[in-house]
Amino acid sequence: MVDYIGRIYRPPSEARSFLLQVTVGCSHNRCAYCDMYRDKQFRPKPWETIEADIEEAAALGPRFRRVFLCDGDALILPTRKLLRILEAIAERLPWVERVGVYGDTRSVGRKSVEELGALREAGLGIVYHGMESGDDETLRRIDKGGTAQECVSTAHKLRDAGIVHSVMVLLGVGGVERSREHARNTAATLSRMDPPFVGTLTTTVVPNTPLAAMEARGEFTLPPKLDLLQELRDIVAGSDFSACRFSANHASNYLPLRADLPQHKDALVELLDQVLEARDESILKPEALRGL
């Protein structure tokens, strides 16, 4: 049986991947809105456990084409250990076409382009990066542990290494107070990063998180639905990509969208403007259908 400790998370696009848990928890574990790994003490899993899980996957045969390395920021593992994992995957699961992982400014920042290139050569194809905001003040308030400039450096390093970069943004995470700055600076930072994939999610205030405590103290207020849509509109309108698949189709979003930018930028902005002008919340996804 595959060894899974605690609840396992993965990006929506890794739904069919074999989930290989190589770390437990998140080495940062401080983002104000996140409760995913609060019950887990971060630790790398022993090689013997990982190796046994790869054997379990080999026994399944080619039922999956991708592997996703869990938990929160498995890219934080030393390059040598990651290479060992990727090499074992390549040897024992030769049908695997891509390995993915969560990573951020810390984990990418610790690695040189050469190290990232070696990981790419060994099979690491995509890094999912929860940037959440390109606004430094918002990043500071949510204790994200990185700056907008570091997000830009992360994007450039991954591109130079040939690794696909998928960036996640959290609508509403700046609260009412920084809603406009969050949208404007996120658009500006994304433009400098120019990643091939951007996905937006909508902030949820999860009980027992620092964000919930901030809300209770009156220090954070989630913007109303149409203001969240305004943030989405301003991010799309203010960003400048060379080729980006832009998605707002996560279960948490009120208006599911997917578009290739820049080709569909004008049409997408026009659509969002129409919804905002109509101020008709009935076309937004009902609360009960948001998969949170």
Nearest distance in Å: CB 36, ligand SF4: 5
- Phi then psi for residue 51, to 5 deg, are -60, -40
Nearer to ligand SF4, 77 or 259 (CB): 77
**H-helix or E-strand spanning residue 88:** helix 79-92
Nearest to 103 by CA among 168, 198, 191, 176: 168
Token pair 């990509």 is found at: 241
Q: Is 28 in the site for ligand SF4 (CB under 6 A)?
A: yes
Q: Is 197 in the site for ligand SF4 (CB under 6 A)?
A: no
**H-helix or E-strand spanning residue 158:** helix 148-161
CB neighbours of residue 268 within 10 Å: 21
From 73, 115, 231, 234, residue interacting with ligand SF4 (rule: CB under 6 A): 73
Alpha-carbon span 190 to 199, nearest angstrom = 11
Nearer to ligand SF4, 92 or 106 (CB): 106
Q: What angle do CA 252, 253, 258 make, to 5 degrees?
A: 125
Q: Is 88 in the site for ligand SF4 (CB under 6 A)?
A: no
Alpha-carbon span 194 to 236, nearest angstrom = 13
Alpha-carbon span 86 to 278, nearest angstrom = 51
From 2, 10, 29, 226, residue interacting with ligand SF4 (rule: CB under 6 A): 29
Q: Is 142 in the site for ligand SF4 (CB under 6 A)?
A: no
Residues 89-108 touching ligand SF4, rule: CB under 6 A, are 104
Q: Is 26 in the site for ligand SF4 (CB under 6 A)?
A: yes
Q: Is 130 in the site for ligand SF4 (CB under 6 A)?
A: yes
Q: Is 74 in the site for ligand SF4 (CB under 6 A)?
A: no
Nearer to ligand SF4, 100 or 265 (CB): 100
Alpha-carbon span 34 to 53, nearest angstrom = 27
From 20, 36, 151, 236, residue interacting with ligand SF4 (rule: CB under 6 A): 36
Residue type, 132: E
Stretch that binds ligand SF4, among 24-32, 210-218, 239-247, 275-283 (CB under 6 A): 24-32
Q: Is 72 in the site for ligand SF4 (CB under 6 A)?
A: yes
Give residues in contact with ligand SF4 (CB under 6 A): 26, 28-31, 34, 36-37, 72-73, 104, 130
